[in-house]
Chain A
Amino acid sequence: MSEGTKEPDGGEEKVVLKTHDGQEFTVDMATANQSGTLKNLLSEVGSSSNNPQVIPLPSSITSRVLGKVVEYCQRHAAGGGRRGGMQALEQFDEELVELDKDMLLDVTYAAAFLDVPRLLDLTSQAVADAIKNMSVEEVRHYFGVVSDFTEEEEKVIRSECPWAFE
């Protein structure tokens, strides 16, 4: 149920999302409109069922990540009316963000890029829960960042709130 690759179109307007690694996701308008970025784009260029608009996506969004986003958008475009109502939808949301670290960050990035507010809410909450009780070093490790502060700069920030680092 994850993606609708090369689905036969049912007369509805379709949009093709093409990832950088060449995979195509054909989605209907209701699904695409869950994303603010796509909605804006489509309202400008328009689309038709005979000749679906192909939207290329940046290399930062892989097909695996886009699959997740499309899965989310399809479920939410259908709303709570399908398969067990709002409760099932909430459970779906919960299960969706049970991802490994890299995937979670990538989906967060994709949700921010494609402007899917509720998905961004979900994933950023999951990331926030993950880093909640981490030390500075652990957070650096989690995100794979190297401190770009000079020693003095870090000292200044630490001295502003020494209690925060105990």
Chain B
Amino acid sequence: MPSSIDDFPLDALVQIFCKLDHDELRPLRCVSKSFNHAAIAAQQMHFDFSTPAPKKSMAFSRHMDASPGGPSWALEVRKPKTAKLSEGESRRIAVVLFPATDRDRRRTTRPECRRCSVAPGSLHLANAHA
């Protein structure tokens, strides 16, 4: 009989932890070393992929954004502008500036990308940092 939890298989312990909420996991880490391992494993395989349950203590987070130091998006939200011109009017005004077909456009932009000797992968990474 596994009288002590130390004989308990790690995966069973992880299973138990996965049934808890996010904020209930942390205190378990300092119960013992095996608990710490199980909590880290549970974090990696379950909690990183699930949304924390809404808590009363977070009630005011609706008014604050996720990061307190971050820009407050709420102030910058504007009403969507409604078009002042009707569709018929705007079509009358609009002029095609670059009369090229889609295929032509693709042909002209592709060499541009090659010229700047940056691999597409690293370009993507740079964007991710921005």
Contacts and interface: CB of A to CB of B under 8 A. Distances in A.
Interface in B32-52: 32-36
Interface in A145-166: 145-149, 154, 157-158, 161, 164-165
B30 A108 contact: no
Contact of A128 (B4, B5, B19): B19
A135 B24 CA distance: 10
Contacts, number: 94
B31 A140 contact: yes
A37 B1 CA distance: 19
A138 to B, nearest CB: 10
A62 B15 contact: no
Nearest to A166: B27
A113 B20 contact: no
A136 B5 contact: no
Contacts of A88: none
Given A131-B28, A143-B31, A165-B27, 20 more contacts: A102-B1, A111-B12, A112-B9, A112-B15, A120-B12, A125-B19, A131-B20, A135-B27, A136-B30, A139-B27, A139-B31, A143-B5, A144-B4, A145-B4, A145-B5, A145-B32, A145-B34, A149-B30, A149-B33, A157-B30
Interface of A: 59-60, 62, 65, 102, 105-106, 108-109, 111-113, 120-121, 124-125, 127-129, 131-132, 135-136, 139-140, 143-149, 154, 157-158, 161, 164-165
